Structures are given as structure tokens and as C-alpha cells.
Amino acid sequence: MQASSVEIRKVNKFYGPFHALKDVDLNILPGKVTCLIGPSGSGKSTLLRCINFLEEYDSGEIRIDGQMMGYDAPGRKMSGRKLREMRRSIGMVFQQFNLWPHMTARENVAEGLIRVRGMGKAEAHERASAALTKVGLADKMENHPLRLSGGQQQRVAIARAIAMEPRLMLFDEPTSALDPELVGEVLNVMKTLAAEGMTMVVVTHEMGFAAHVADQVAFMEKGELVGVDTPDRILHQPADPRIQSFLRTYHERNSF
């Protein structure tokens, strides 16, 4: 598999007067898994959404395989066509799944292949079937999303992304909307993707996943990227008091 690299340099983002991302720097190597953690409102989703330009950053650079995302040059936005070209190789998975309810699971996956890749319907449906089989949903292809469990819906959403053969996958809290017993099936699919060498950026509150699957963990607070290091050094021996305090709260909430 071809995997992308992402370089984030001094990225700033404002919502009106609110400074949502402050000089964020982050390097993501091809085939590596980066987990983004941090308290609510710290800017994790904002940063993730800047990577595929669903959110526009105001200054700095985000480069995917060396190519600047969203801008031709600082301050000059790229054309819609070029932006779509770049987005084709970036998959995104949302907390709320965002499947299209008027299409079956298979149609959800095939839609992008037909509209974006220009594939014929038969070929697209064949590929969609393969992608759904890969996430363990061979028997659910004709179901509409609302007839699927949350875990199954999220796996369809992952299939929809990987069917496009992306070189980079973005996950925004993919398991946060799921009942606890359904989290595992989604994390397992993600682990398989990671093992295949996909570059992945994962916003998550699943510290177990971050500890075992991530190559690096980045901690954000108040729009700043406070620290980035190996999972062990961030999660088990953090130097920064802000990370220590975040993890303490996390452990307190998850112990009983």
C-alpha cells in the first residue's frame, strides 16, 4: 500500500476572535499511526478537519506528500478541482458515522467509486462488496444504515472510506458514539488497517488503542499541541503537568 506523509507547520486557525489552533506543528510519517488526545474543546477535531480542508486554516502549512493542502500558495486557495483531487486519497471517518440513510450499505460504499472515481455501477458494487466483506459485513450489504447497529454503521463508514483506496485515513472519535460492547469490533478493523501500513490520524479517548496501536501520541490543550512522543512516554511517564492532570482525570473517571 502507498501511504502518505503529513507535515503540519505553524498552523493557526481562528473562529472569529477565538484562537482555535495555535502554531501547531506535527509530523506524520508514512504508514504510522498518530493518536490525538486532549480535553474537550482543545482543537483535536479542528486540527483533523484542517488536514482534509473541511476546515480552512488561516496560516501555516499542511503538506500531504509535500503538496500543500487547500492553498496554491500562502493565502491563495486552490481550485475546487484540485482540492477534490487531493481529498480523493484521504479517507475520513466521523464520530456520527454520517452514512447516507437513503442508500443501502453497499450503495453508500459504491457512491464515491461511481461519482468520484468514475467507475461503472457493476464494478463499483463489486468493489463495495469486497470492502464490506473486509470489515466483516458480507451479510449486511443490502441493509439501510438505520437497520444496522452503531458498530456496524461505523464499519460501513470505514468501508466507504477504504474502498476509495486512500493513502491516509482520518478518524474523529470513531468509537465515542458507540455502546461499550460495540467499540471492540470497530477498533479491530482499525488495527487491521494500521497493520497493513495505512497512515492514520486518530482522535480518540480510547487510551488502550493509543497505547497499543499508535506509533506516536500527540496531546492538545487549548489549541496548542503540548507534546508529541511515543505512547509510552506520553501515557505512562508524561513530563508536562497538563498531560499528567488530563490522565489523572481520565483514570479517575474510568476506575470504579
Which positions touch ligand ATP (CB under 6 A)? 15, 18, 20, 38, 40-46
Closest contact distance (angstroms) between CB of 8 and ligand ATP is: 14
Which residues are within 8 A (CB) of 247 and not within 5 positions of it... i.e. 6 or more apart?
207, 235, 238
Closest contact distance (angstroms) between CB of 40 and Mg ion is: 7
Residues for the chain: how many in total?
256
Closest contact distance (angstroms) between CB of 188 and ligand ATP is: 23
Q: Which does 180 bind (CB under 5 to 8 A by kind): Mg ion, ligand ATP, another protein, none?
A: none
What contacts 24+ positions apart, CB below 8 Å, involve 77-80? none
CB closer to ligand ATP out of 45 and 108: 45
User: How many C-beta neighbours within 10 Å does residue 27 have?
Assistant: 14
CA angle 44, 47, 51 (to 5 degrees): 140
CB closer to another protein out of 34 and 45: 45
Alpha-carbon span 253 to 146, nearest angstrom: 31
SS3 186: helix
Q: Cα–Cα distances in Å, from 199 out to 13, 34, 50, 194? A: 24, 8, 16, 7
CA angle 46, 163, 138 (to 5 degrees): 115
Residues 157-176 that bind another protein (CB under 8 A): 157, 160-161, 164
Q: Which does 46 bind (CB under 5 to 8 A by kind): another protein, Mg ion, ligand ATP, none?
A: ligand ATP
CB closer to ligand ATP out of 119 and 217: 217
- Neighbouring-strand partners of residue 28: 6
45 is an interface residue for Mg ion by CB under 5 A: yes
Closest contact distance (angstroms) between CB of 216 and ligand ATP is: 18
What type of residue sits at position 72? D
Q: Whose CA is closest to 63, among 73, 76, 51?
A: 51
CB closer to ligand ATP out of 103 and 247: 247
Closest contact distance (angstroms) between CB of 98 and another protein is: 4
Closest contact distance (angstroms) between CB of 133 and ligand ATP is: 32
110 is an interface residue for another protein by CB under 8 A: no
User: How many C-beta neighbours within 10 Å does residue 239 have?
Assistant: 10
C-alpha grid cell, residue 215: 506509533
231 neighbors 211 (Cβ within 8 angstroms): yes
Residues 65-104 that bind another protein (CB under 8 A): 80, 84-85, 87-88, 90-92, 94, 96, 98-102
121 is an interface residue for another protein by CB under 8 A: no
Task: Give the binding site for Mg ion (CB under 5 A).
Answer: 45
Task: Give the binding site for another protein (CB under 8 A).
Answer: 52, 54, 80, 84-85, 87-88, 90-92, 94, 96, 98-102, 111-112, 115-116, 144-147, 157, 160-161, 164
